[in-house]
Amino acid sequence: MNFSGRTVYLVGIKGTGMASLAILLKASGAQVSGCDVPEKFATDELLLSYGITVHEGFSPSLVAHDADTVIHSTAYAQTLPILLEASGLGLLIYSYPQFLSYLSTLSDSYAVAGTHGKTTTVALTSYLLSTGTLSSFPFYSIFGSTVKGFSQSFCQGSVSALFEACEYQDHFLSYHLRGALVTNIELDHPDYFSSAREVQKSFEKFVDNLASGGFLICCSDDHGARNLASYARRERADLTIMTYGFDDNGPFRIIKRSYEDTYTLSCLDTCSFPLLVQERALVGNQIGSVVLALSMILDRENPKLYLEGGTLITAEIIPTLAGMLSKKLTGFPGVVGRCEIMRDEGGVLYIDDYAHHPTEIITTLGELHSSYPNRPILVIFAPHTASRTKTFLKDFVHALGMADRVIMQSCYGSARNDNTGEGEQDMGEVLSHALGERIMRTTRCRLQACVYASNDEETVAIASNWLQSQDLCITMGAGNNRSLTERIAQARRSL
């Protein structure tokens, strides 16, 4: 992939996927700049570190007249004045998924899809394909975050491409893929999907679009993904279907050896390996990454080029590859915004996590309880979109009840403008009230306090007074509250 001589302007450049794309385009030789809202995001420093100029606002005058391509976040319609200006100038205009669809035609392309765990799985697969002898594996990847401690994007060539494929508005149906991994399937994005069945049908169409002779990998621990594998076996006999998970009965069945606190796979026999995570879903993401990485390697004409010295291509290649890759899992430094430790100060451990769906919250809090069993947890939660909060209100109450204390922020509608209607109570306040009614009502509910904070100043004031030594404070949600960590720590210093 070579974009030398191209000048690309990205509208909504601070979005995680857009920022990842901007970095890749620059690494591929393009001149890259863009624009977004003035609000500070986690991607600001990342874009700055790559020398990518970011303009504030969306004035039509910002589009460089020497630009040849404009790519915009799907949060912005083509009626946005800056996009109308680009159209008037005769520039090529793509939405983010349209451009990924275009890129997928240029390489042997693969993707990770699923309601949860996509970003982590793509990130970890990219990490596995970039270490040791695999540093020569000719691939690049685009996903909605970055790997902690990695200053460069994953771009080792363009023979293969790996994408995070989102089901929202059926965007992933336009991709041209040889293979895919599906982590799980359940209802989300209720502003677009009316039911869980509609989501399942969308994933079935996704499978229908996979190239003949390609592969599909599904997590058998998840009901929706397991059903998708059954659908593929009925409808796509031309695909190689693989499954993995604790509940699997094939070569990639996950076995926990509790007496050693290690894991192994059915195909590995005596070989076991430690993992840095404990929740089943997170373990599944790690093993899924191993299966996807080995599948991408074996999909090349000469996989021996990328294996460790002395490795033979025999009938035993799958366990050999699985063993080689699984040894690298403990070296994975993690993903920015996914249970990311921000600071440890004054006896308080500050963490940031993107969880914004009840299932994700349960997984994250379960992992934190396992990792820090004696530390009370304060969650600062920003609900993401009014429609999601309304649809899963009871589920959010159950999930957030795993925390000891919760500070609920206003509902974050993002650029989708999926906010509370005029004259209606903010959905963050509605969720806070529902959580308050649950406090100490059941033996399974740890929750001792919940309060609604209508702005960041209130949030900082409450958190800095509540937090005590040995507490764990986690900013959570798909909003932009991770920056509160520094403000809360600073407020505690002045107490």
Q: What is the pLDDT of residues 404-414, one digit of tens each?
A: 999 999 988 76
Confidence band of 437 (pLDDT split at 50, 70, 90): confident
* DSSP states of 66-116: T--EEEE-TTS-TTSHHHHHHHHTT-EEEEHHHHHHHHHTTSEEEEEESSS
Q: Which of 47-56, 291-300, 311-320 has the lowest mean pLDDT?
A: 311-320
- Whether pLDDT at 466 is above 50: yes
Average pLDDT over residues 227-243: 96
- Give strand pairing partners of 179: 110, 215
Confidence band of 230 (pLDDT split at 50, 70, 90): very high
Confidence band of 312 (pLDDT split at 50, 70, 90): very low
State which fold the 107-331 domain adopts.
UDP-N-acetylmuramoyl-L-alanine:D-glutamate ligase (3.40.1190)
The answer to whether 172 and 111 have CB atoms below 8 angstroms apart is: yes
- Whether pLDDT at 309 is above 80: no
d(CA 29, CA 6): 8
pLDDT the model gives residue 178: 97
Q: Which of 75-79, 117-121, 203-207 has the lowest mean pLDDT?
A: 75-79
Average pLDDT over residues 186-208: 97
Class of residue 365 by CB neighbours under 10 A (exposed 0-12, middle 13-18, buried 19+): buried
Asked if 107-331 and 340-493 have one fold, the answer is no
The residue among 314 and 257 whose pLDDT is bigger is: 257
- The CATH H-level (homologous superfamily) assignment of domain 7-96 is NAD(P)-binding Rossmann-like Domain (3.40.50.720)
The residue among 418 and 333 whose pLDDT is bigger is: 333
Give the closest residue to 488 by CA, choosing from 479, 470, 475: 475
**Is the entire prediction scored with pTM above 0.85?**
yes
What are 80-123's pLDDT values in tens digits?
A: 999 999 999 899 999 999 999 999 999 999 999 999 999 999 99
Confidence band of 313 (pLDDT split at 50, 70, 90): very low
Pairing of strands 262-265, 254-257: antiparallel
Name residue, tokens 């039509």: 60
CATH architecture observed for domain 340-493: Alpha-Beta Complex (3.90)
d(CA 339, CA 350): 10
d(CA 463, CA 455): 12
Q: Which residues contact 343 (CB under 8 A, 6 or more apart)?
A: 350, 485, 486, 489
Torsion angle, alpha carbons of 373, 359, 145, 253, to 10: 80
**φ, ψ dihedrals at 466, nearest 5°:** -75, -40
Domain locations in the chain as residue ranges: 7-96, 107-331, 340-493
